[in-house]
């Protein structure tokens, strides 16, 4: 657990342990939940499919491809639930493979058209 006050910046760093220096780490999705085992019912998207959903989210430069650094402001869910759980999905890609997920950035999925 990490204890922070509301609206305090929360800095995170993900590190890929690998002997291959040609791997890149990409933060695809980070979702917050008031419960540790349910990230589908009551959630708050910080970043989803590479698209930033929280205005306080920011990435930070890292001199290493296998390190992803980012921050967002701490918050709490309604009903005074004092705990917030975070689940992030990261993608590992080959460096300079510009067709890979890591280099595509924000992906917005188009909605299907409903037939009459």
Cβ(66)–Cβ(18) below 8 Å? yes
Cβ(93)–Cβ(24) below 8 Å? yes
Q: Is 12 helix (H, G, I), strand (E, B) or coil?
A: strand
Residues 6+ apart with CB under 8 A from 36: 85
Is residue 60, in this structure, part of any structural domain at all? yes
Q: Please count the structural domains in the chain.
A: 1
Across the chain, mean pLDDT equals 89
Is residue 88, in this structure, part of any structural domain at all? yes
The residue-averaged pLDDT of 87-107 equals 94
DSSP state of 35: S
CA 82 to chain centre: 21
- Structural domain containing residue 87: 8-96
The residue-averaged pLDDT of 29-41 equals 90
CATH, residue 33: 2.60.40.4100
pLDDT of residue 111: 55
Is residue 112, in this structure, part of any structural domain at all? no
């Amino acid at each position: 657990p990490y204890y922070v006050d509301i609206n305090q910046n929360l800095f995170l760093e993900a590190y890929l342990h690998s002997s291959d220096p040609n791997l890149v780490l990409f933060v695809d999705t980070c979702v917050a939940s008031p419960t540790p085992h349910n990230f589908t019912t009551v959630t708050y998207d910080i970043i989803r499919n590479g698209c930033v959903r929280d205005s306080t989210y920011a990435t930070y430069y890292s001199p290493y491809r296998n390190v992803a650094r980012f921050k967002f402001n701490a918050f709490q869910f309604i009903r005074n639930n004092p705990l917030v759980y975070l689940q992030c999905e990261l993608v590992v890609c080959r460096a300079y493979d510009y067709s890979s997920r890591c280099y595509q950035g924000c992906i917005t999925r188009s909605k299907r058209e409903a037939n009459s």
